[in-house]
A = this chain, B = another copy of it.
């Protein structure tokens, strides 16, 4: 029996939740073109708090989507990069982001029509 996110206790539902998470989507996309430092990601993903970014990155690390590399320098430099598994998420998440930006106008029109 394959995983079934329609079932409430199937682990795939939790996974689906996490990969659709607001910060996860943007963080993964940020790492598309190569390793990035903590502060670079934070600047790129406007509005993410340090706490949430740390939390999101830890979860991605645990799930094997991202690696964390500490360079022994002063000041410390920490770089995050996508694993092959993480890279395999780029297409699905990219499609989602593209949908949101491309269809935003239609959605806003629908909202105005609905208000009336």
Query: Does A4 sit at the interface, judged by CB under 8 A?
Result: yes
Q: How many copies does the complex hold?
A: 2
Q: Are B15 and A107 in touch, CB under 8 angstroms?
A: yes
A6-B45, A6-B46, A17-B22 as given contacts; A63 in contact with B97, CB under 8 Å? no
Chain A residues 1 to 46 lying within 8 A of chain B, measured CB to CB, are 2-8, 11-13, 15-17, 19-22, 25-26, 30, 44-46
A25-B20, A85-B107, A106-B85 as given contacts; A101 in contact with B5, CB under 8 Å? yes
23 A-B pairs with CB atoms under 8 Å apart are A3-B104, A5-B101, A6-B26, A6-B45, A11-B108, A12-B101, A13-B22, A15-B104, A16-B96, A19-B100, A20-B21, A20-B96, A62-B110, A62-B111, A64-B111, A64-B113, A85-B103, A85-B106, A85-B107, A88-B103, A92-B95, A92-B96, A95-B95
